[in-house]
């Protein structure tokens, strides 16, 4: 079975420049709901001068890894690698093994299939050598369980799992053939910082570290990441706010005839009669949404910032 990228374009959220070219308006006029990024980002505070001017030292790296281990309750036997975003290790992980067959249940985040395809892998649901599970899944929010870890090598992408920490499969990260990915940009709303994590057995992390090279995470990212991961109060408050906001968004959309399919508290997936028409109508009011090349009815929306709800309500 051919991989998903061979069948459909590798689409992503964002793309406001293209939307502006078609529908006009300044960037500040647009409400971008096409991504699942928290619209109320973590307040980064002051950043030390040395974080900008010096090569990242071991102390800063160790502080970030310690904060990550505590925040995610990483098993003692697992190692952690900080990376420049989650996309970087996604592209490299398929090279850890000889090319074989991989099962990537679709629909899901398309960069995984593209990465495996680039390394010569083929897709198969029958006794695959590797499996990729996005937990919770993007775009439908499906959650996976330990019983689903059926392949010898399984990648568990938990980029959106910080809103539902009880659903995490982090406790298998110390087992051979299990790799857990974490994204910092989604929950903390700092996608531009480009910070991600790989959590796996020490041998796997050592090989990935050789692939990514030294100083793959910037000094400011190390400092901000350690600070944010240590702020449990902010995380708990944010989860509560996101839950309230998704309830509000669901009420708005279902009143307009959309049907809730799934999602997380960072993005919601709706079924509508014509997703392309919905996207165009919203875009004429400078609200950007996410549609998918494999579905004419799927419409995904992120959350507005607290001061931008009126724009969405008027557009609807």
- How far apart CA 188 and CA 239 sit, in angstroms, is 11
Distant-in-sequence, close-in-space partners of 233: CB < 8 Å, separation ≥ 6 = none
- How far apart CA 233 and CA 247 sit, in angstroms, is 22
- pLDDT value at 2 more than 60: no
Given this model, what pLDDT does residue 17 score?
85
Cβ–Cβ < 8 Å for 266, 303: yes
- How far apart CA 67 and CA 229 sit, in angstroms, is 6
Joined tokens for residue 177? 């053939």
State the residue for tokens 């990260």. 173
The string of pLDDT tens digits covering residues 70-79 is 999 999 999 9
For the chain, the maximum distance between any two Cα atoms, rounded to a whole number of angstroms, is 54
The string of pLDDT tens digits covering residues 126-165 is 999 999 999 999 999 999 999 999 999 999 999 999 999 9
Phi, psi of 153 (to 5 degrees): -125, 120
Q: Rounded to an integer, what is the distance from CA 235 to the centroid of its chain? A: 17
Q: Residue 180: how many CB atoms within 10 A of its CB?
A: 26
Distant-in-sequence, close-in-space partners of 174: CB < 8 Å, separation ≥ 6 = 75, 76, 77, 78, 201
Average pLDDT over residues 26-53: 96
CA angle 63, 69, 75 (to 5 degrees): 145
Average pLDDT over residues 237-261: 98
Given this model, what pLDDT does residue 3 score?
41
Cβ–Cβ < 8 Å for 170, 198: no
Percent of the chain at pLDDT above 70? 96
Joined tokens for residue 278? 């919905």
The region of weakest confidence among 7-21, 140-154, 166-180, 241-255 is 7-21
Q: Which domains occur in the chain, in start order?
A: 4-40+233-315 (3.90.1150.10), 49-230 (3.40.640.10)
Given this model, what pLDDT does residue 12 score?
67
Beta bridge partners of 102: 123, 130
Residue among 65, 78, 73, 81 at smallest CA distance from 173: 78
Cβ–Cβ < 8 Å for 121, 102: yes
**pTM assigned to the model:** 0.94
Q: What is the mean pLDDT of the chain?
A: 95
- How far apart CA 128 and CA 23 sit, in angstroms, is 45
Q: Rounded to an integer, what is the distance from CA 21 to the centroid of its chain? A: 27
- How far apart CA 94 and CA 110 sit, in angstroms, is 14
Helical (H) or strand (E) element with 101 = strand 101-103
State the residue for tokens 């165009």. 280
Given this model, what pLDDT does residue 15 score?
79
Query: Crossing angle for the helix pair 275-283 and 16-23, nearest 10 degrees?
Result: 70
């Amino acid at each position: 079975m051919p991989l998903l990228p061979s069948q459909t374009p590798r689409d992503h959220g964002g793309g406001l420049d293209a939307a502006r070219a078609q529908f006009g308006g300044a960037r500040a006029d647009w409400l971008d709901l096409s991504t699942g990024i928290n619209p109320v980002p973590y307040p980064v505070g002051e950043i030390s001068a040395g974080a900008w001017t010096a090569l990242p030292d071991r102390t800063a790296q160790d502080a970030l890894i310690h904060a990550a281990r505590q925040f995610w309750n990483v098993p003692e036997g697992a190692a952690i690698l900080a990376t420049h975003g989650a996309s970087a290790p996604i592209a490299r992980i398929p090279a850890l093994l000889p090319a074989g067959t991989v099962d990537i249940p679709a629909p899901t985040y398309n960069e995984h299939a593209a990465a495996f395809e680039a390394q010569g892998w083929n897709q198969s649901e029958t006794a695959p050598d590797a499996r990729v599970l996005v937990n919770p899944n993007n775009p439908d929010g499906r959650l996976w369980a330990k019983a689903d870890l059926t392949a010898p090598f399984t990648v568990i992408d938990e980029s959106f799992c910080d809103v539902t920490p009880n659903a995490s499969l982090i406790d298998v990260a110390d087992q051979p053939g299990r790799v857990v990915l974490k994204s910092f940009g989604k929950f903390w709303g700092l996608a531009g910082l480009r910070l991600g994590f790989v959590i796996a057995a020490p041998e796997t992390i050592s090989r990935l570290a050789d692939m990514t090279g030294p100083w793959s995470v910037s000094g400011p990212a190390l400092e901000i990441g350690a600070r944010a991961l240590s702020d449990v109060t902010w995380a708990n408050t944010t989860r509560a706010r996101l839950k309230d906001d998704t309830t509000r968004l669901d009420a708005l959309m279902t009143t307009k005839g959309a049907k809730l399919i799934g999602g997380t508290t960072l993005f919601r997936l709706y079924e509508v009669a014509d997703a392309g028409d919905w996207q165009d109508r919203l875009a004429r009011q400078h609200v950007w949404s996410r549609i998918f090349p494999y579905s004419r009815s799927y419409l995904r929306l992120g959350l507005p910032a607290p001061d931008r709800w009126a724009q969405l309500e008027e557009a609807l």
